[in-house]
Amino acid sequence: MFPKLKRQGGLAGDEANLVERYFAMQGERPSRLGDVGVEALDPFLRTLLFTDGTVTRTLGVQLLAPVVVEPISQVPTVTTGEVAACLEAPAEEEAIRRQVSIGVGEPAIPVLWAESFMVADRLPPGFLGLLDAAPDGIGQSLQRFSLESSRELCWFGLDRAPSWSPGAGRPTLQRLYRIVSGGRPAILIAEHFEVEERRGTYHLAGLLAHSSRRQLESLR
């Protein structure tokens, strides 16, 4: 299990308690990530950050719009550095790296980009094959397999969209979490939510764009 989070200086009491309760490695996040208080996130973005359920379901329920998972890459790799440590795997452990873009509406407006590292021998046989055909991605595949698992939130902070994504360089709120099955971490997932700051509050950029498009459509 992850070590207990160290209390962060400068956080208000309630906020510090929330972060300490739900993010197990906040004090060990990479130095490149910028600080952001949870009170600076709008309620929906805060909900996405703290949810330990499927992001696609949360997006669909909130926006009442189709959620599209578009695979960008899925290739064999080996675990190194932070990835190996979070997966509690030896260096050079075989894994699958999967990168996707997730959008809402038709045509899809990008909301986030996600990169996953999966240790195949810790997952049921056939899981990766089912994942290729699952329109809602990893969460739906886990549900179809009825795989008993838990999610452990690691850390979050302000970042930029990764270089492999179509939104490379855009401001994002990144969070890292892992999926544990059979007592061992099986999947490590980094999600980059594209954000926009307005008057000191961060919003999900895709939600703003989706709302604007709906307003324009209602005027036609």
Summarised one tens digit per residue, pLDDT across range 48-81 is 999 877 888 888 888 888 888 999 998 999 999 9
pLDDT reported for residue 37: 93
Residue 8 lies in a domain: no
Residue 134 lies in a domain: no
Q: 118 pLDDT exceeds 80? A: yes
Q: What is the mean pLDDT of the chain?
A: 84
User: Is residue 31 helix, strand or coil?
Assistant: coil
Residue 158: HSE in the Cβ half-sphere, 13 Å Cα cutoff: 16
- The rounded percent of the chain whose pLDDT value lies above 70 is 80
pLDDT reported for residue 146: 55
pLDDT reported for residue 220: 64
CB proximity list for 47: less than 8 A, separation 6 or greater: 58, 62
pLDDT reported for residue 5: 34
- Better-scored residue on pLDDT, 212 or 179: 179
Residue 97 lies in a domain: yes
Output the pTM of the full model: 0.84
- Report the relative pairing of strands 150-160 and 184-198 from DSSP bridges: unpaired
Lowest-pLDDT range of 91-95, 109-113, 126-130, 141-145? 141-145
Beta strands in 132-170 (DSSP E): 150-160
Residue 77 lies in a domain: yes
Residue 4 lies in a domain: no
Residue 105 lies in a domain: yes
Specify the CATH number for the domain of residue 94: 3.40.1410.10
Residue 6: how many CB atoms within 10 A of its CB?
Answer: 11
Residue 139 lies in a domain: no
Query: Average pLDDT, stretch 18-36?
Result: 92
- Report the relative pairing of strands 67-78 and 94-104 from DSSP bridges: antiparallel
pLDDT reported for residue 88: 92
CA-to-CA distance for 179 and 114, rounded, in angstroms? 14
C-beta separation of 68 from 108 below 8 A = yes
- Better-scored residue on pLDDT, 75 or 126: 75
Query: Average pLDDT, stretch 136-140?
Result: 61
Query: Average pLDDT, stretch 155-166?
Result: 96
What is the extent of the structural domain holding 165? 13-122+149-219
Domains contained in the chain, number: 1
Q: 156 pLDDT exceeds 60? A: yes
Query: Average pLDDT, stretch 197-204?
Result: 94
CA-to-CA distance for 48 and 35, rounded, in angstroms? 17
Residue 185 lies in a domain: yes
Token duo for residue 43: 């309620």
- Better-scored residue on pLDDT, 160 or 58: 160
H-helix or E-strand spanning residue 109: strand 109-118
pLDDT reported for residue 35: 94
